[in-house]
């Protein structure tokens, strides 16, 4: 988990931080190695350990207090049917537990492991919380509660800055993502290895994220593309005609924004019609489940990428 935390802080996203050596962690380590002119083996070898040594004092976890304001808003499950989703004003978190997990780039299961019996596991020094997120209240008794001390992965707090209105700044804070990110002159998405790389104007790798790309029904459209715009906290135009696994007799719906919407908190629109790069309401599926042809990331990685790209950023999809 300490390795995942360091990689996450350096912009090489290991996906969900869970202490496991899975595809996302291997991809992130390869990206870190490439950026530091090491052999991109995905192995924690001696040269890689030597470079990582500068962050050896970064703790794997820290103890924070859940803001009291998180107890002021109602959490509700997102309906399964688009027709019912369209009736809501916001597709927010289903529970305080889910919100806490997304803030620290992990899962509810990992948080429960780090807090046996509802109390922070001991063994590391505690540091105060550094969160400034919107408020919340629940219909059901959650595993975690507002005002409680909890042990969480030691992901960095999002600092203000960058583009976007007040709502977007709150989204960045709620995801623990800094508003200022390196600029990406080009991004490359690899279908086979399931990653997205961002390169700066000097062609230096500045970020890597594991992604889910297409399916047998909706394959990734290989080739070079451009970016027509970036929508932050976007609504979603649900069109059954665009989904192979949805009956065409269903009606079109305009779905509200929110982290549990179909495209999460970001839609990066591409010059290929109906295709984009976006977030997800299910971060644990990244690198595993297929998508409907688009490129899907965790919400926190999608938020980072949204701060990196602009209309001049070139996009390459490769096999």
Q: What is the pLDDT of residues 248-285, one digit of tens each?
A: 666 778 999 999 999 999 999 999 988 999 999 999 99
Helices (H), 126-218: 166-175
* Strand (E) or helix (H) holding 318: strand 314-318
Q: 201 vs 128, which has greater pLDDT? A: 201
DSSP-based three-state secondary structure for 110: helix
Give residue 288's pLDDT.
Answer: 65
Q: Where residue 164 falls among pLDDT bands split at 50, 70, 90?
A: confident
How does the average pLDDT of the chain come out, rounded?
Answer: 88
In 3D, which of 299, 289, 87, 312 has the Cα closest to residue 185?
A: 312
| Separation CA 154–CA 137 (nearest Å) | 25
Give residue 251's pLDDT.
Answer: 77
Angle between helices 2-9 and 23-35 (to 10 degrees): 50
Give residue 257's pLDDT.
Answer: 97
| Separation CA 249–CA 229 (nearest Å) | 30
Mean predicted confidence (pLDDT) in 90-113: 96
> Is a pLDDT exceeding 80 seen at residue 63?
yes
Give residue 219's pLDDT.
Answer: 83
What distance, in Å, lies between the first and last C-alpha atoms of the chain?
A: 30
| Separation CA 303–CA 228 (nearest Å) | 17
Give residue 253's pLDDT.
Answer: 87
Mean predicted confidence (pLDDT) in 85-97: 96
Give residue 244's pLDDT.
Answer: 47
Contact between 201 and 314 (Cβ < 8 Å)? no
| Separation CA 122–CA 127 (nearest Å) | 13
Mean predicted confidence (pLDDT) in 211-225: 83
């Amino acid at each position: 988990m300490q390795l995942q935390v360091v990689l996450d802080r350096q912009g090489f996203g290991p996906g969900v931080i869970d202490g496991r050596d899975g595809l996302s962690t291997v991809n992130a380590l390869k990206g870190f190695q490439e950026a530091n002119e090491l052999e991109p083996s995905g192995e924690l070898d001696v040269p890689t350990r030597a470079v990582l040594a500068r962050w050896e004092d970064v703790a794997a976890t820290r103890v924070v207090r859940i803001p009291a304001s998180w107890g002021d808003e109602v959490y509700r499950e997102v309906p399964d049917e688009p027709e019912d989703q369209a009736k809501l004003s916001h597709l927010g978190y289903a529970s305080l537990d889910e919100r806490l997990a997304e803030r620290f780039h992990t899962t509810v299961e990992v948080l429960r492991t780090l807090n046996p019996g509802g109390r922070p596991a001991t063994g590391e020094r505690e540091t105060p919380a550094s969160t400034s997120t919107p408020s919340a209240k629940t219909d059901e008794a959650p595993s975690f509660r507002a005002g409680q001390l909890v042990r969480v992965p030691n992901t960095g707090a999002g600092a203000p800055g960058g583009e976007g209105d007040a709502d977007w700044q709150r989204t960045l804070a709620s995801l623990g993502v800094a508003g200022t990110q390196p600029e990406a002159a080009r991004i490359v998405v690899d279908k086979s290895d399931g990653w997205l790389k961002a390169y700066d104007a000097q062609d230096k790798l500045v970020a890597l994220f594991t992604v889910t790309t297409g399916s047998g029904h909706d394959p990734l459209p290989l080739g070079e593309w451009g970016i027509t715009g970036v929508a932050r906290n976007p609504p979603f135009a649900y069109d059954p005609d665009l989904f192979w696994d949805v009956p065409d007799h269903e009606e079109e719906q305009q779905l509200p924004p929110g982290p549990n919407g179909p495209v999460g908190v970001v839609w990066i629109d591409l010059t290929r019609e109906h295709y984009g790069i976006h977030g997800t309401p299910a971060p644990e599926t990244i690198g595993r489940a297929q998508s409907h042809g688009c490129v899907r990331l965790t919400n926190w990685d999608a938020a980072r990428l949204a701060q990196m790209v602009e209309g001049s950023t070139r996009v390459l999809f490769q096999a």
